[in-house]
Amino acid sequence: MSSRIAARMSVFVVVLCAVVAPLMTVAASDRVVVTRESLDIVSVDTESCAFPIEFHEQGKQVVHEFYDREGMLTKALITYPEFKVTVTNLETGASLTFAAPASFTFDFVKGTFTATGNQSVITIPHLGLIAQDAGRIVFPLDGFEPIFVAGTHDFFLPEEGTEPAFCAALADGGS
């Protein structure tokens, strides 16, 4: 798993814990808690490509927290409708923007993290598909080796020793 994805999963867990911790003693009658917020996150990655890249992630985040009858959190579903990511080569200014309507499930009973659907697809006009994460992939909450994989996962499971395909596209000028 790339350091970018591992970092993003770590951020999800930290954000989830910050949101969930105060709610861990929800009354038995409260079974689902839904929170919605707009996100605007900018980060710089100096490891994925041969040049520094900026990730600008924008959109809505919806968190559904599921509790059992005792009020313990059993599952969290995080969705990103209308979410987009812009990746910019900080040396040249070349950029790629793509939709990333991801859906992630943290199942605290099974001890798994699942990404489903079309997490991200990068295409360039006249060139076609550059990279994608689509399908279903399941990880244990305490590790980064997948338990189950279906579909194409260029970001979650990059080939060892290769840089992401979007690096070449950004080096060539993006779109």
Give the mean pLDDT per block of 10 residues along the chain (175 residues). 46 45 46 95 92 95 95 95 92 90 94 90 80 89 91 75 71 65
Whole-number Å distance between alpha carbons of 41 and 29? 35
pLDDT of residue 27: 43
pLDDT of residue 16: 45
Q: Where are the domains of the chain?
A: 3-171
Q: Which residues pair with 73 in a beta bridge?
A: 67
161 φ, ψ (degrees, to nearest 5) = 80, 5
Neighbour count for residue 106 (Cβ, 10 Å): 23
pLDDT of residue 4: 47
